[in-house]
């Protein structure tokens, strides 16, 4: 509740009312753990937010609005605000493209995977991807949807999980690379416009960077093309030996 704009005390009061409604402020202070000196101030704020109802009785008693009503209203207000901001911020934003040289950093795996999916969802023409088995399942749905949109896909797999999408290559050098790098990486280039590079270490720590810098985009693309060529040669060489 604090993440959607309620204070700690407001959250405690509302949760207490959900468990026991139609109570006085004095009773609610005891139930919620909010100091009696602050309970009426909190109740007044919740009443003004239309989260709590003050029942006309003597003494006044309080009841909560149902959670679905409150959450639906908050959601609608939030979406309306976002729509207004979308229009207004675009009007303010300078169209001069000065951001291409910026490099944005991420340090949590969930955020990295979320950004990768966001990149895939934005693809309109072609994407190049280098990915390991541990990470491919979470992005497979987005990749499948991209192909359905007509996006051309090139994937270098470090592992066994082929998806049956676009041009796929199994690298074959996973064990050696994992030892050399101390972990695994993910790389994605979208429409030759932007790139994200992530590194997941064996101890669970990770970091990533994404950018629209043209030099880094093309460099990462060359890296994936090189790995796809290695995969073909690796397969041909060991296939001949077998």
Do 27 and 138 belong together in one domain?
no
Do 55 and 149 belong together in one domain?
no
Phi, psi of 193 (to 5 degrees): -115, -30
Q: How many structural domains are present in the chain? A: 2
Containing structural domain, residue 54: 2-67
Q: Please give the pLDDT value at position 232.
A: 66
Residue 74 included in any domain: no
Residue 88 included in any domain: no
| CATH of residue 150 | 3.30.870.10
Q: Please give the pLDDT value at position 93.
A: 65
Q: Please give the pLDDT value at position 110.
A: 93
Q: Please give the pLDDT value at position 99.
A: 56
Measured between alpha carbons, how far is 55 from 23 in angstroms, rounded to an integer?
A: 9
Per-residue pLDDT of the chain (242 residues; tens, 9 = 90+): 998 889 999 999 999 999 998 999 999 999 999 999 999 999 999 999 999 999 988 889 999 999 999 999 999 999 999 888 888 887 776 555 555 678 999 989 999 999 999 999 999 999 999 999 999 999 999 999 999 999 999 999 988 888 999 899 888 777 777 777 778 999 999 999 999 999 998 888 999 999 999 999 999 999 898 888 766 655 544 443 33
Burial environment of residue 195 by CB neighbours within 10 A (0 to 12, 13 to 18, 19 or more): buried
Q: Please give the pLDDT value at position 200.
A: 92
Q: Please give the pLDDT value at position 159.
A: 86
| CATH of residue 45 | 1.10.10.10
Residue 96 included in any domain: no
Residue 225 included in any domain: yes
Q: Please give the pLDDT value at position 96.
A: 54
Do 132 and 63 belong together in one domain?
no
Do 35 and 110 belong together in one domain?
no
**Structure tokens given for 171:** 């690298």
Do 122 and 227 belong together in one domain?
yes
Q: Please give the pLDDT value at position 172.
A: 74
Q: Please give the pLDDT value at position 202.
A: 83
Do 55 and 127 belong together in one domain?
no
Contact 20, 31 (CB under 8 A): yes
Do 113 and 231 belong together in one domain?
yes
Do 57 and 157 belong together in one domain?
no
Q: Please give the pLDDT value at position 48.
A: 92
């Amino acid at each position: 509740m604090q993440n959607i704009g309620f204070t700690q005390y407001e959250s405690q009061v509302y949760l207490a009312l959900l468990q026991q409604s139609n109570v006085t402020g004095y009773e609610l202070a005891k139930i919620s753990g909010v100091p009696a000196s602050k309970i009426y101030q909190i109740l007044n704020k919740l009443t003004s937010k239309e989260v709590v109802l003050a029942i006309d009785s003597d003494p006044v008693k309080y009841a909560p609005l149902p959670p679905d009503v409150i959450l639906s209203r908050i959601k609608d207000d939030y979406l309306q605000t976002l729509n207004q901001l979308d229009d207004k911020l675009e009007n303010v934003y300078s169209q001069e493209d000065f951001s291409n040289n910026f490099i944005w950093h991420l340090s949590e795996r969930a955020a990295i995977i979320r950004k990768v999916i966001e990149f895939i969802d934005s693809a309109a023409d072609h994407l190049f991807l280098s990915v390991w088995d541990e990470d491919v399942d979470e992005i497979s749905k987005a990749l499948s949807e991209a192909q359905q949109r007509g996006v051309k896909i090139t994937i270098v797999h470090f592992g066994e999980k082929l998806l049956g999408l676009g041009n796929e290559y199994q690298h074959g050098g996973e064990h050696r690379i994992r030892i050399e790098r101390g972990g695994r990486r993910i790389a994605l280039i979208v429409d030759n416009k932007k790139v994200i590079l992530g590194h997941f270490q064996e101890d669970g720590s990770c970091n990533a960077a994404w950018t629209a810098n043209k030099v880094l985009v093309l460099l990462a693309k060359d890296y994936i093309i090189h790995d796809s060529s290695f995969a073909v040669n690796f397969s041909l060489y060991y296939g001949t030996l077998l």
